[in-house]
């Protein structure tokens, strides 16, 4: 159902695209039009970035993980996801040289990274791209990553978020450790920079001791755009205090609206206004020329999910071993843990969905495969998908969408060639870039340095 827009409402949606290997769907690599080895092909990623740029999208985002998939090899060996792919910052630097407008965002783990190195890398990316960098701070939910960093076990959820809060503060402090005009580079006097505009951080906290200053000048955007996914209580507090874009996963319009109001309502106590943060809801569109054609193609892709893959996916998200469980029966009562230590928002959402109706293992993994936890897959024509997007946007449930493409390149091509023009026709999305930086695209102000 479409909602009428106010005559005074000139807002435009924010649209980003999330790229994961050759698609977020676990059977994406089995699609005959997806290139084998595309997940490690720079020409393929460049083609995708340029396609997203042609659609005038705000940014191109590549997710990351710090460990290859573990668990039952019967399911793991049938998956492309997170087995072998690019380190995202290296990829983004290469894409920056071959694109002009689109924002470039990548994941960094606060759990397994040092803020000084991370701040250098993202400041460098912002300079290389001319102010188009975004950084997505994550606390790394995937437990096997711990063993790759000399740790016997993963830190608990609360500890990871305490570390993340300090990590973000140190990153911002390092980006602010030079004034914008500190580097005068005056050949006549022989002075390269003004020492009065150099500000060592001198940070001493619970997790980090960082003297500073950063050995990279202040980024073109002041700071790269801060992105997070705030689903848990600690995640929402971190987002309200520090983030400028938040990825949300919501199953229905009322819960999306409640999340939006909750998150924006937390910002005042941190001295921030609601417009300083864009909530972008995860959307998994499966686009066809007609609703019927989209449904048929979607069913074909779903049918390619091997039961071993489905059980493996659920085992990770629900933190339980489902090997050997019959796929056409529900998960037995009492088998699941009471709470998650990894991605709590996905875990809670899946538990809620299971509580609302009895789902078999197959039904559950098909739902997760379609929308990766958010349960917000939309299958249909461009008009059908634009209707859903317009309804949520105009209802005050979101500022835009984090578009997760099921299979590449066809899924992105269809979204850009069919859905984007429909949104433009409705006056919901730009027809061209109005600025040069990611902050320009998102309508975010350039931050002033903070001192003390």
CB-count burial class (<10 Å; 0-12, 13-18, 19+) for 414: buried
Give the CA distances from residue 387 to residues 1, 16, 36, 257, 304, in Å, rounded to whole numbers and listed in that order.
6, 18, 34, 17, 28
The model's pTM is 0.91
| Model pLDDT for residues 264-275, shown as the tens digit of each residue | 999 999 999 999
pLDDT-derived band at 5, boundaries 50, 70, 90: low
Contact residues for 181 (Cβ-Cβ < 8 A; gap 6+) = 194, 197
Q: What is the mean pLDDT of the chain?
A: 91
CA dist 193 and 215 (Å) reads 12
CB-count burial class (<10 Å; 0-12, 13-18, 19+) for 4: exposed
Contact residues for 189 (Cβ-Cβ < 8 A; gap 6+) = none
Where along the chain do its domains lie?
Answer: 14-155+164-176+215-291+373-442
| Model pLDDT for residues 327-346, shown as the tens digit of each residue | 888 888 767 666 655 555 55
Average pLDDT over every residue of 56-73: 87
The better pLDDT of the pair 451, 19 is held by 19
CA dist 262 and 269 (Å) reads 13
Whether 417 contacts 31, CB under 8 Å: no
| Model pLDDT for residues 143-164, shown as the tens digit of each residue | 888 899 989 888 888 999 999 9
Query: Residue 65: its pLDDT value, please?
Result: 86
Query: Residue 144: its pLDDT value, please?
Result: 85
CA dist 408 and 81 (Å) reads 13
pLDDT-derived band at 355, boundaries 50, 70, 90: low
- What class is the 14-155+164-176+215-291+373-442 domain? alpha beta
């Amino acid at each position: 159902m479409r909602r009428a827009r106010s005559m005074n409402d000139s807002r435009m949606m924010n649209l980003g695209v999330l790229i994961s290997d050759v698609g977020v769907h676990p059977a994406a690599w089995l699609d005959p039009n997806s290139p084998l080895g595309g997940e490690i092909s720079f020409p393929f990623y460049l083609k995708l970035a340029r396609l997203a740029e042609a659609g005038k999208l705000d940014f191109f985002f590549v997710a990351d993980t710090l460990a290859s998939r573990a668990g039952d090899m019967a399911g793991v060996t049938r998956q492309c996801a997170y087995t072998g792919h690019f380190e995202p910052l290296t990829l983004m630097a290469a894409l920056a040289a071959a694109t002009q407008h689109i924002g470039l965002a990548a994941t960094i783990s606060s759990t397994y990274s040092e803020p000084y190195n991370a701040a250098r890398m993202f400041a460098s990316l912002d300079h290389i791209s001319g102010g188009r960098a975004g950084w997505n701070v994550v606390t790394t939910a995937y437990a096997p990553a711990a063993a790759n960093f000399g740790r016997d076990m993963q830190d608990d959820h609360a500890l990871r978020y305490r570390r993340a809060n300090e990590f973000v503060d140190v990153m911002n402090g390092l980006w602010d450790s030079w004034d914008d005009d500190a580097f005068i580079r005056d050949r006549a006097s022989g002075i390269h920079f003004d020492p009065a505009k150099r500000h060592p951080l001198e940070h001493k906290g619970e997790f980090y001791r960082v003297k500073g200053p950063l050995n990279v000048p202040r980024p073109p955007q002041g700071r790269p755009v801060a992105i997070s996914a705030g689903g848990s209580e600690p995640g929402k507090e971190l987002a309200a205090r520090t983030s400028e874009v938040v990825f949300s996963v919501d199953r229905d319009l009322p819960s999306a609206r409640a999340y939006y109001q909750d998150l924006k309502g937390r910002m005042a106590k941190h001295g921030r206004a609601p417009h300083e943060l864009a909530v972008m809801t995860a959307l998994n569109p499966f686009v066809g020329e007609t609703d019927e054609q989209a449904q048929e193609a979607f069913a074909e892709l779903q049918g390619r999910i091997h039961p071993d893959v489905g059980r493996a996916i659920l085992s990770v998200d629900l933190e339980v071993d489902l090997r050997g469980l019959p796929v056409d029966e529900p998960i037995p009562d009492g088998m699941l843990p009471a709470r998650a230590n990894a991605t709590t928002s996905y875990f809670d959402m899946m538990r809620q969905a299971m509580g609302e109706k009895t789902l078999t293992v197959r039904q559950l993994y098909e739902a997760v495969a379609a929308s990766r936890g958010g349960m917000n897959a939309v299958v249909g024509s461009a008009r059908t998908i634009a209707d859903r997007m317009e309804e949520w946007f105009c209802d005050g449930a979101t500022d835009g969408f984090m578009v997760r493409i099921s299979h590449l390149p066809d899924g992105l091509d269809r979204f850009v060639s069919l859905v984007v023009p429909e949104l433009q026709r409705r006056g919901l999305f730009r027809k061209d870039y109005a600025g040069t930086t990611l902050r320009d695209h998102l309508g975010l102000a350039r931050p002033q340095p903070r001192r003390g």
